[in-house]
């Protein structure tokens, strides 16, 4: 039996996504900048995808920029805004649990004279509002906060964050990394006070190498790629039509029967949590006050006395695929900054796995996983003690 529970890393593409991509690869393969019919046919896929994204977010099509994925969207948002508002200030605020595609661009900006404040979170992974507001000052130009944390599934109150920071400094822009949230929540940037929003296609059953950056009209960001001036000069380079068509189709499909899909994910999450809690020496992280305070598709579990890598491969031998943290940072030996930030005990930092679900995950998958964990954990723990 094969059970894939690493959907926060990547998801299987929908068949509809695969089909539309094949059309753009084999039939409508023209360059969308070409003036002949082949180019016009290719350009229509981009136009249709842009309209699907704009409709989903309830924004204008001109506010949608297609990128190569979440990392580029985050880099463009952070670096582009920093340079676009250089005359207004040099202070940026973020949290201690952001993805490396936010953290590392900010390190780059710090090396180039910008000042960055890193706001702590509580044990449930929620930003400490008082600390955030204390950090906002006259030269703050940007606050960047992820909607859903990719490792522990904590969910930030974006509307409240936007309201509070803009009350203190109306000029502050809010960027939201919604890469784990989009497709799980209905997100409307204008309603929630979001100025820039990052989306990744391969987290919602679209293709890898596809992404979106929403930039509110009148927000001025500098491009970080230069070339032929595609996408109104904001993101030069021949558009990746298959990827753009694919993410458009994924957005269309992911929000069909959305509430039912989300409720199913919560049922899977509840079952897994209840199951692993019966195992001795197991801690479920960032549960919040209620289950729905957290994202429906992510569960972080610590197994005292067992190294995460050992348990990960033991599960793999049984056909179960999970993650020991962010897949985007999995090649780095450092322990998770997110787990440290929530105050996880030191002995559990290297004993934590992430289980993440999708619309393809079944209750049978979860029940099988619980049974295998009950079988493996006592044996591995006994072996580890020796």
Rounded mean pLDDT, 289-303: 96
Question: What single DSSP character describes residue 117?
Answer: E
Supply 160's token pair: 């409240």
pLDDT at residue 189, as a whole number = 98
pLDDT at residue 135, as a whole number = 98
Q: Which pLDDT band holds residue 377 (cuts at 50, 70, 90)?
A: very high
Domain spans in the chain, listed from the N-terminal domain onward: 3-11+257-385, 15-254
Dist. CA 46–CA 230, nearest whole Å: 12
Dist. CA 42–CA 50, nearest whole Å: 13
Q: Among 174, 250, 198, which residue's Cα sits nearest to residue 69?
A: 198
What is the residue-wise DSSP string for 78-93?
HHHHHHHTTTT--EEE
pLDDT digits (tens, 9 = 90+) for 104-125: 999 999 999 999 999 999 999 9
Dist. CA 1–CA 119, nearest whole Å: 43
Dist. CA 5–CA 373, nearest whole Å: 13
pLDDT digits (tens, 9 = 90+) for 126-153: 999 999 999 999 999 999 999 999 999 9
Is pLDDT above 50 for 352? Answer: yes
CATH topology of domain 3-11+257-385: 3.90.1150
Q: Which pLDDT band holds residue 383 (cuts at 50, 70, 90)?
A: confident
pLDDT digits (tens, 9 = 90+) for 30-49: 999 999 999 999 999 999 99
Residues that are catalytic: 328
3-state secondary structure of 215: strand
Residue spans of alpha helices (H) in the chain: 15-26, 37-57, 70-84, 100-111, 129-135, 158-168, 189-192, 241-254, 258-276, 308-317, 337-341, 363-385
Which sign, positive or negative, has the C-alpha torsion 374, 380, 384, 386? positive
Is pLDDT above 50 for 202? Answer: yes
Q: Which residue's structure tokens are 């690869």? A: 25
CATH topology match: 3-11+257-385 vs 15-254? no
b/e string for 134-150 if b means 16 or more Cβ within 10 A? Answer: ebbeeebbbbbbbbbbb
Share of the chain above pLDDT 70, in %: 96
Dist. CA 311–CA 313, nearest whole Å: 5
Is pLDDT above 60 for 326? Answer: no
pLDDT digits (tens, 9 = 90+) for 2-35: 999 999 999 999 999 999 999 999 999 999 999 9
For 15-254, give the CATH class.
Answer: alpha beta
């Amino acid at each position: 039996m094969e059970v894939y529970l690493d959907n926060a890393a990547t998801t299987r593409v929908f068949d509809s996504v695969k089909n539309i991509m094949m059309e753009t690869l084999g039939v409508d393969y023209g360059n969308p900048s070409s003036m002949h019919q082949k180019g016009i046919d290719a350009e229509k896929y981009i136009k249709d995808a842009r309209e699907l994204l704009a409709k989903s977010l309830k924004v204008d099509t001109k506010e949608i920029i297609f990128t190569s994925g979440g990392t580029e969207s985050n880099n463009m948002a952070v670096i582009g805004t920093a340079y676009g508002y250089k005359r207004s200030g040099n202070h940026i605020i973020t949290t201690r649990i952001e993805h490396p595609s936010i953290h590392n661009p900010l390190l780059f900006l710090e090396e180039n004279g910008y000042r960055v404040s890193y706001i702590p979170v509580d044990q449930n992974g929620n930003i400490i509002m008082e600390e955030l507001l204390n950090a906002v000052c006259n030269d703050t130009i940007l606050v960047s906060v992820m909607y859903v944390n990719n490792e522990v599934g904590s969910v930030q109150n974006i509307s409240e964050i936007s309201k509070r920071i803009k009350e203190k400094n109306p000029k502050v822009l809010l960027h939201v990394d919604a890469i784990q949230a989009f497709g799980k929540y209905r997100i409307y940037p204008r309603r929630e006070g979001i100025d820039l929003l990052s989306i990744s296609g391969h987290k919602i059953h679209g293709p890898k190498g596809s992404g979106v950056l929403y930039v509110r009209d009148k927000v001025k960001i500098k491009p970080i790629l230069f070339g032929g001036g595609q996408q109104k000069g904001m993101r030069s380079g021949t558009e990746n039509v298959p990827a753009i068509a694919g993410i458009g189709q994924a957005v269309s499909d992911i929000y069909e029967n959305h509430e039912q899909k989300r409720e199913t994910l919560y049922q899977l999450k509840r079952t897994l949590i209840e199951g692993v809690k019966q195992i001795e020496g197991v801690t479920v992280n960032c549960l919040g006050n209620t289950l729905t305070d957290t994202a429906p598709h992510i569960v972080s579990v610590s197994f005292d006395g067992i190294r995460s890598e050992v348990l990960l491969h033991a599960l793999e031998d049984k056909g179960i695929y999970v993650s020991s943290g962010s897949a985007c940072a999995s090649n780095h030996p450092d322990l998770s900054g997110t787990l440290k930030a929530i105050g996880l005990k030191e002995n559990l930092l290297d004993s934590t796995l992430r289980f993440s679900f999708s619309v393809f995950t079944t209750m049978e998958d979860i029940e099988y996983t619980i049974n295998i964990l009950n079988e493996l954990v006592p044996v591995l723990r006994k072996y580890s003690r020796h």
